[in-house]
Amino acid sequence: MSALISIDGLRMTYGRDVVLSGVNLKVQPAEILTIVGPNGSGKSTLLRAIVGAEKPKAGRIERSPELRIGYVPQKMAVDTRLPLSVLRFLRLPNHSSSAAVAALKQVGAEAMVKRALADLSGGQLQRVMLARALLGAPNLLLLDEPTQGLDQPGSAALYKLIEGLRDDLGCAIMMVSHELHVVMSASDRVICLNGHVCCEGHPDVVASAPEYRALFGSGTGGALALYRHEHTHHHHDHDGDDHDHVHGHTHAE
Amino acid sequence: MMATTMTMSTGTPMLNDFLVRAALAAVGVAAAAAPLGCFVIWRRMAYFSDATAHAALLGVAIALTLQAPIFPTVLVVSLAAAVIVTQIAGREMASDTALGVIAHGALALGLVAVSLVDVRIDVDAFLFGDVLAVTRGDLGVIWLGAFAVVSLVVWRWSAWLLVVLSPDLARAQGLDPKREELILTLALAIVVAVAIQVVGALLIASLLIIPAAAARPWAKSPEWMATIAGGIGIASALGGLQVALWADTPAGPSIVVVAVFIFTISTLAATLRYGWGGSS
């Protein structure tokens, strides 16, 4: 099968700041691809470039003719001053009510249909956003930190839902996440981003790559590194991977 | 003074016509401003609308200097100011400080410019409006402008709602947030240009914001909020004119005072009914 998206030499800038450079990337049908990277590493920018919200400074983004994108942006300003029901939100700008209700059912949020958008909890809102992304029968879902603001059981449930959607709908999923411990296990492929693609591949390969360690093993990534290393520790316990273990502890301090 | 004379001689057909014109002008402006005002509130553009309205005074000065017609000049200057402000204040329109400087700077600059113009004019009329002096021609322009604004709002309604919620989501839907923003700005500039004669540059923003804010607690959908706001705007326009006639007060500020009164009643009633903050 041909790739849904082929990115070649992508360069993105904000004013004088180079956010991304030399990014090459292909997204294959029905794969779960996760992008990890520190804050400001260009993860959201990459997604926004694919959606077309930001124009590339250089490079190409080739989209398959069959590509239909469902997009969940990083943040949405839901204000109590705007009286908007979930149904009305899903119908914007011109979707049918029946399609909106069907999408809510797919994410297990049909009970939300009449609720005011501003009254939803973080997890409910993320499900509604996901439902919205499903409306155009996408073959690629772009999710920008879909579990932000959710507690652990909440994000675990959401990841399970996302995996289920891939299985049911056969759509590819490209998501940005901070929760490396969960994401790593649910992904087919991980891309570690820091202005450029540091390393990529199967989750286990990325987790043990020196570039990845360099990013998440120090500074603000310390806490995340701890998570990951504990996870690695569990994973590799049987292999007697002591080095990993010690490494994790060093960074935890 | 003028209003007193009028009350005493309401009987003559000509003066009746005079009042009818004022009422029609005020109603037209209020009905157009209120639904647009919902977007001003949702997009947090209060300061932005102030800056645009204040720039209208500069437009008046330019029109007088060039001896150009006021309405189109004010429209162009307000639109230009709004576009410049958008560029300076950045993508989020949330830069309070920059907008504050521009809003008040434009007002001061306009006042200075008007004073430099050779033609002797009544600055008050442009600051506080002069709805009782509306001519038939003015009325035509006001209703044309009001109709254009309402048409733009209806036409772009869903698109603007999506842009308010998330520009990225709008973009993913094939809309161009920048273009939608520009059309919204154009609608705002038209409101400013037609409202300057009714409530004056200083109070235009209040005609946008107050009816929409008063409508919020009673609206279950954005469409209802705009409709209720329109009703409150019209009620304020008619009520304000009535107050101006009874109490011999300036019409523009009286309209705004009535709108604030309705807002206060609405907020109190909503608080009694739903409790503090529970408006949805």
State the nearest Cα–Cα gap between B127 and chain A, in angstroms. 30
Residue B46 touches chain A, beta carbons under 8 Å = no
Q: A93 and B171: CB-CB below 8 Å?
A: no
B149-199 tens-digit pLDDT: 999 999 999 999 999 998 888 888 888 988 999 999 999 999 999 999 899
Chain B residue with CA closest to A50: the answer is B172
Of B42, B165, B171, the CB nearest to A76: B165
Average pLDDT, chain B: 86
A168-188 tens-digit pLDDT: 888 999 998 876 666 667 788
- Mean predicted confidence (pLDDT) in A85-105: 91
Percent of chain A having pLDDT more than 70? 82
Q: Measured between alpha carbons, how far is A150 from A148 in angstroms, rounded to an integer?
A: 5
A7-30 tens-digit pLDDT: 998 999 888 888 888 899 999 998
Of A73, A93, A94, the CB nearest to B166: A73
The answer to whether residue B99 scores a pLDDT higher than 90 is no
Residue entry with tokens 């001053």: A81
The full DSSP string for A144-200 is ESTTTT--HHHHHHHHHHHHHHHHHH--EEEEE-S-HHHHHHH-SEEEEESSSEEEE
pLDDT of residue B207: 93
Q: A132 and B169: CB-CB below 8 Å?
A: yes
Range of the domain at A174: 5-216
Please name which of B33, B29, B26 lies closest in space to residue B188, comparing C-alpha atoms. B33
Q: Specify the amino acid at residue B82.
A: A
Residues 6+ apart with CB under 8 A from A188: A31, A32, A33, A202
The answer to whether residue A235 scores a pLDDT higher than 60 is no
Q: A77 and B224: CB-CB below 8 Å?
A: no
Would A250 be classed as within a structural domain? no
A97-138 tens-digit pLDDT: 999 999 999 888 889 999 999 888 888 898 899 999 999 889
Disruptive mutation site among A63, A82, A134, A144 for chain B (greatest number of B CBs within 10 Å): A82
Residue entry with tokens 């947030």: B177
In chain A, residues with a C-beta closer than 8 Å to the C-beta of B167 are: 53
Q: Measured between alpha carbons, how far is A252 from B193 in angstroms, rounded to an integer?
A: 63
ipTM: 0.79
Q: What CATH superfamily is the domain B7-205?
A: ABC transporter involved in vitamin B12 uptake, BtuC (1.10.3470.10)
Tokens representing A140 are: 């690629």
A vs B: CB pairs below 8 A: 70
Q: Specify the amino acid at residue B237.
A: A
Residue entry with tokens 């400074």: A57
The answer to whether residue B3 scores a pLDDT higher than 50 is no
CA angle A44, A48, A51 (to 5 degrees): 145
As for how many domains chain A has, the answer is: 1
B8-57 tens-digit pLDDT: 444 445 545 888 999 999 999 999 999 999 999 998 888 888 888 998 98
Average pLDDT, chain A: 79
Q: Measured between alpha carbons, how far is A216 from A36 in angstroms, rounded to an integer?
A: 10
Please name which of A98, A110, A10 lies closest in space to residue A52, comparing C-alpha atoms. A10
b/e per residue B179-200 (b: at least 16 CB within 10 A): ebbeebbbbbbbbbbbbbbbbb
pLDDT of residue A146: 85
Q: Can you give the CATH number for the domain in which A54 is found?
A: 3.40.50.300
Which band of pLDDT confidence, cut at 50, 70 and 90, is reported for residue B253? very high
pLDDT of residue A182: 66
- Mean predicted confidence (pLDDT) in B104-117: 87
Higher model confidence: residue B102 or residue B260?
B260
Instruction: Find the largest Cα–Cα distance for chain A.
Output: 57
